[in-house]
Amino acid sequence: MKDAAYAKINLSLDITGRRADGYHTLRTVMQSISLCDTVTLLEGNAGEIEVTCSGGAPCGKGNTVYRAAEEFFRRTGKKGSASFRIEKRIPAQAGLGGGSADAAAALRLLNRRFQTGLSAENLREIGLSAGADVPFCVEGGTALAEGIGEKLTVLSPLPECWIAVCKPPEGISTREAYAAFDAPGRAETGSGSTGRLLAALKTGSLPDAAAGLGNMFEAGNAPGSVRAIKARMASAGALGACMTGSGSAVFGLFGGETAARQCADGLRGLFPQSFLCRPIRSYG
């Protein structure tokens, strides 16, 4: 059994506060894109969970797929085994949610394999234990995520477009990005980009949506290559460009395929992990 694990981009990202338990609260608009990993569920050794990955991704108990599967069996009471093979294409430490997308795909596969009939809401609850972006990745599409990512509101889809995505050599761990944000002198309130983006999506205008892009992490821990990539995307005709998540990948929105393809191809000569993508609607 196989499932596609689609990457996500953050069209907007505001950090709105910090809870007593140390988790940060967010207000962010997420969008699924066609860049994806492939997750395969195989028969495993009795009573065991196994995860193997291409591309050197961690495959032990720290892997998000392992944690999601472990929680699935705990919550459902099912006694079984699961062996997952993950074919990685989504870059790590990029802000593209690859690990979360893999965990969500694993939950969808387990739900089918064991015929548990869990709703998307049930899968989101299970997935939250593996990562804050997993609930969104269960169904994907275009959604507003609030809280630590568990409060989701389905939105009008991003207008049809082409998306160039570029991951520079520098990676950024989520933990390091939040540590930089929490450094003395930094504010803990949102920049308001999410409000602008939500208003833009209601118009159905791609230029309006592109003008509303924003990410609070960009001003803090973003490497210089992020600015350089954004500048190249703008010169190639991007309507707007922004870093996604805690970085370091950058995406640009284009109205036409030709300009987007030329941009992605040009960036690939400098940064091999460059991709041409489309928006993806909800799995549901």
Provide the edge-to-edge strand list for the sheet that holds 162-166: 240-243, 250-254, 162-166, 274-277
Token couple for 248? 């370091």
Quote the CA–CA distance of 94 and 244 in Å, as a whole number. Answer: 8
Residue 182 a catalytic site member: no
- Type and span of the H or E element at 218: helix 218-221
Is the bond leading into 248 cis (omega within 30 degrees of zero)? yes
Candidate list 3, 14, 102, 133, residue with the active-site label: 133
Residue 88 a catalytic site member: no
H helices of 62-217, in order, are: 64-76, 98-113, 120-128, 134-139, 174-181, 193-203, 206-211
Give helix 120-128 / helix 98-113 axis angle, nearest 10°: 130
Quote the CA–CA distance of 212 and 242 in Å, as a whole number. Answer: 10
Quote the CA–CA distance of 86 and 100 in Å, as a whole number. Answer: 12
> Which of 84, 90, 66, 77 shows the shortest CA–CA distance to 165?
90
Candidate list 3, 8, 14, 167, residue with the active-site label: 8
Q: How far apart are the two ends of the chain, measured CA to CA in Å? A: 18
Token couple for 210? 């592109």
CA–centroid distance for 176 within its chain? 17
> Which of 32, 275, 35 shows the shortest CA–CA distance to 164?
275
Judge whether 211 and 202 are in contact, CB under 8 Å: no
Known catalytic residues are 8, 133
